[in-house]
Structure 1
Amino acid sequence: MANPNWHEICELSDLEVDWGEVALVDGEQYAIFKTPGDRVFATDHRDPNSGSLVIARGIVGSKAGTPTIASPLYKEVYNLETGEQLNGSDYKLPTYPVKVEDGKIYLGL
């Protein structure tokens, strides 16, 4: 994504490790995750399979060192870096750039 518009979301310290939160930006919902080492990821909150707004309530984990999120509905596992589905289906979870500056998380759209 070239030259995204950055939106301040929250303080890094507001997020718990391996837990998702939802950010509302311009009427759209995004799932924000903090993993060990204070790595932060952002995806759509909408489950690509069901269309339900549930991804932030999924199970954060890792597969072969890759950070993942498992949908709470159908348990598809997605790569938090790329959005690729790791269970063999064609669903893809949109991901977005994030940055942390001065302890604040910014989402690039």
Structure 2
Amino acid sequence: MTTATDSTTPVRVCTLEDLEVERGRAALLDGQQVALFLLSDGTVLAVDNLDPFSGANVISRGIVGSRGGVPTVASPLHKQIFDLRTGECIETHGKPPAALRVWPVAIDDGVVYVRMPESVGS
């Protein structure tokens, strides 16, 4: 478990070797659950693990895919589809719009760092 003390400082979360391609992993940062995804092109993206439709922390267990070249994750509960780059829900299945918060990610020498989004740390 990693705890951040300053929202402007990137927090070491894991190594790239800890992640599996197109499989989510959850991490806890300052009491917030984050879902991390390693894409097939080597990009790592992070969004809230909290599904805004069900209220459960399950996004890291979602199905990774793409829509028109956009990396996506489908909630494992109700199958709403989210853009992993922006957090926007692109398929709501008739529910009101919602989005996942996006967490900035950096990779340095095989180590994955996540920075708390401004809306969380303020």
State if a TM-score over 0.5 links the two structures: yes
2:84 to 80, 83, 89: 80
1:39-87 alpha-carbon deviations (Å, 9 max, x no partner)? 1000111001111010000001111111000000110000000001111
2:53 match: secondary structure: coil
Shift of 1:5: 2.3
Partner residue, 2:55: 51
1:23 to 17, 20, 27: 27
Distance 2:30 2:66 in 1: 30
Q: What pairs up with 1:4-15 in 2 under 5 angstroms?
A: 4-15=8-19
Partner residue, 1:105: 112
After TM superposition, the structure 1 stretch with the greater mean CA deviation from structure 2, 80-89 or 42-51, is: 80-89
List gaps (5 residues or longer) in structure 2: 1-6, 117-122
Partner residue, 1:92: 99
Distance 1:107 1:24 in 2: 11
Identity of aligned residues (%): 44
Paired residue total: 107
Q: Which amino acid aligns with 2:107?
A: V
Between Structure 1 and Structure 2, whose CA radius of gyration is higher? Answer: 2
1:67 to 43, 68, 71: 71
Alignment root-mean-square deviation, CA: 1.2
**TM-score, structure 2 length as denominator?**
0.83
**TM-score, structure 1 length as denominator?**
0.93
